[in-house]
């Protein structure tokens, strides 16, 4: 079965359950096909020799394709990533909630009908949605490059990564990967045998020369590797946080890089502060705390985690003390 048909059938099946945004794969292919057909007709009419030389492709820069194809694809990608992030966040918040918050979440909206297995199935559905849309975007950009004899599709993909709307770069995909491993480990520890669906077929936390790496084979052609070494302290990330550019740091390291205290938090960071790695600005305010990843690393690196927890606790207390001392001085004028 061709991917276009497979994608259309998948999205149709999902839309019967819920109204999901998707990539207009067939519509985008028609834009490219029409552009190629119109360009060929025009070229033949104007110059037979040029047509023979360049075949049936559009020119490298095409105002028709670039004026309709890329804006349409960009809008659809924003919708897809936005929906995925929002629903993955809700799912993981419900899983990690406890006490009154969990009861409130269960009885709010449709969550009341979801049991433990239902949450796992929803996580699997989210992963499938992310994967098939990532493949759809990759294929349609490859089609663009083939027709235009150019690498503008790859350039667009690079631009999308900078705009932080690449679904495989989402911090919530990282959280779902950690969620998957945590569930497996919890079932092992309890000795429970549950016929629950797996979120991923191949996903693991590996250590290469002591450096942690979260690796997942989403399909034969799509693999995601996430380095879990903080590039500031050069150690395994502790209390990990993902900036909006996608880079992961220890929370206290990120606060130091943003020139804010842990009391004020990253939301108070100046918009001009840059990511230490990619040097992008404005990446701190929308940072995401990776709670599932924190649980996974605490479980996998117990000695390191305990030692680091004691060190950071003392440092946080000192920062809090200094902060309130400064506040008191400012208030009293001393």
pLDDT in tens, 147-203: 776 667 777 777 777 777 788 889 999 999 999 898 888 877 666 555 556 778 788
Q: Is residue 209 part of a domain?
A: no
Distance, CA of 89 to CA of 304 (rounded, Å) = 28
| pLDDT-above-70 percentage for the chain | 78
- Residue range of the domain that includes 286: 228-333
Q: Which residue has the higher pLDDT, 31 or 89?
A: 89
Same domain, 193 and 246: no
**What pLDDT shows up at residue 330?**
77
13 and 132, same domain (yes or no): yes
pLDDT of residue 185: 84
Beta strand 211-217 with 202-208 is antiparallel
Q: How many CA atoms lie within 13 A of 165 on its CB side?
A: 17
Do 110 and 194 lie in one domain? The reply is: yes
Mean pLDDT of 39-61: 46
Average pLDDT over residues 38-48: 46
Residues 16-37: what's their mean pLDDT?
76
Q: For residue 33, what pLDDT is reported?
A: 74
Do 149 and 242 sit in the same domain of this protein? no
What is the token pair recorded at 218? 């989403």
Residue 283 maps to a domain: yes
The per-residue pLDDT for 195 is 53
Token pair, residue 264, equals 């004020």
65: in domain? yes
First to last CA, the chain: 76
Q: How many domains are contained in the chain?
A: 2
Taking all residues of the chain, what is their mean pLDDT, rounded to a whole number? 80
pLDDT at 40 over 60: no
pLDDT at 156: 78
| pLDDT on residue 159 | 75
CA–CA distance, 277 with 242 (Å, rounded to integer): 12
Burial class (CB in 10 A: 0-12, 13-18, 19+), 29: middle
pLDDT in tens, 282-317: 899 889 999 999 999 999 999 999 999 999 999 889
Q: What values do phi and psi take at 124, rounded to 5?
A: -65, -40
- Asked if 29 and 128 sit in the same domain, the reply is yes
């Amino acid at each position: 079965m061709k991917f276009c048909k497979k994608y259309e059938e998948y999205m149709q099946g999902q839309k019967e359950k819920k109204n999901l945004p998707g990539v207009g794969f067939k519509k985008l292919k028609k834009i490219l096909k029409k552009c190629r057909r119109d360009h060929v007709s025009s070229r033949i009419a104007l110059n037979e020799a040029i047509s023979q030389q360049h075949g049936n492709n559009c020119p490298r820069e095409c105002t028709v394709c670039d004026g309709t194809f890329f804006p349409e694809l960009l809008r659809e990608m924003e919708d897809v990533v936005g929906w995925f992030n929002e629903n993955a966040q809700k799912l993981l918040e419900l899983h990690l909630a406890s006490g009154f918050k969990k009861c409130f979440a269960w009885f709010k909206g449709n969550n009341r009908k979801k049991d433990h297995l239902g949450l796992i199935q929803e996580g699997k559905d989210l992963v499938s949605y992310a994967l098939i849309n990532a493949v759809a975007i990759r294929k349609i950009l490859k089609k663009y490059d083939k027709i235009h004899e150019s690498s503008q599709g790859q350039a667009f993909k690079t631009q999308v990564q900078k705009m932080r709307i690449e679904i495989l770069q989402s911090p919530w995909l990282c959280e779902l990967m950690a969620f998957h491993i945590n569930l497996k480990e919890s079932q092992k520890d309890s000795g429970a045998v549950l016929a629950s669906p797996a979120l991923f077929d191949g996903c693991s936390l590996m250590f290469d020369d002591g450096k942690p790496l979260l690796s997942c084979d989403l399909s034969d052609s799509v693999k995601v590797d996430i380095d879990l070494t903080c590039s500031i302290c050069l150690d395994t990330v502790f209390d990990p946080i993902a900036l909006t550019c996608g880079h992961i740091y220890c929370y206290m390291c990120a606060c130091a890089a943003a020139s804010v205290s842990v009391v004020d938090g990253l939301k108070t960071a100046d918009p001009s502060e840059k990511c230490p790695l990619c040097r992008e600005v404005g990446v701190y305010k929308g940072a995401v705390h990776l709670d599932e990843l924190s649980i996974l690393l605490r479980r996998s690196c117990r000695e390191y985690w305990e030692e680091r927890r004691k060190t950071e606790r003392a440092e946080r207390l000192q920062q809090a003390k200094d902060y309130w001392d400064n506040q008191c001085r400012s208030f009293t004028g001393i």
